[in-house]
Amino acid sequence: MTVPLALLGLLERESSHGYDLKRDYDTYFGRGKPLPAGQVYSTLGRLARDGKVEIGETGPGSGPDRKRYVITDVGVTQVETWLTEPVEGEPHLQTVLFTKVVLAVLLERDPRVYLDIQRAAHMERMRELTELRRSGSTMDTLLADHGVFHLEADLRWMDQTVARLAALTAEVRA
């Protein structure tokens, strides 16, 4: 997800101050990775420059005047377009997992060592996400499901890679 489009979507819902946008972003999308305040304001500055938001009323704050940001018709159109465009399927054909396996083979190291370490890390993350699925909100559960399904796919890929390791080694070293 891109931060600018998420902020535009939040502004389409209602005009807001930067602080409120950060709070809402962190509440809905920031799970474990809150958005830095500086990024909110620099993004809003670019959106204003590009005609996607305007600065509405300003009022006094504890520091500088607080600006209320309002989405423009251009911004609304961009949000609508973004919401209706399909997301590119992931993962891409070039992944870190794949790169590490091929490099291990090229360097004449046993990729199974790396794969075992990675498998253990994936299993630990799956346990964490499974607990979140049990105890979290509906939003947490949906995000955890997404993560678990991706981890499961990686684990299946690791099993296939080990099964094809002899063929991969022959091909890479040829």
Q: What value does the mean pLDDT take over residues 25-47?
A: 91
pLDDT for 93 equals 65
- Please indicate, yes or no, whether residues 122 and 59 belong to a single structural domain of this protein: no
Q: Is residue 89 part of a domain?
A: no
Overall domain count for the chain = 2
The tens digit of pLDDT for each residue in 65-107 reads 688 999 999 999 999 999 988 877 766 666 888 889 999 999 9
Which of 10, 52, 13, 53 has its CA nearest to residue 29? 10
Instruction: Please give the residue range of the domain that contains residue 152.
Output: 96-173
- Please indicate, yes or no, whether residues 113 and 50 belong to a single structural domain of this protein: no
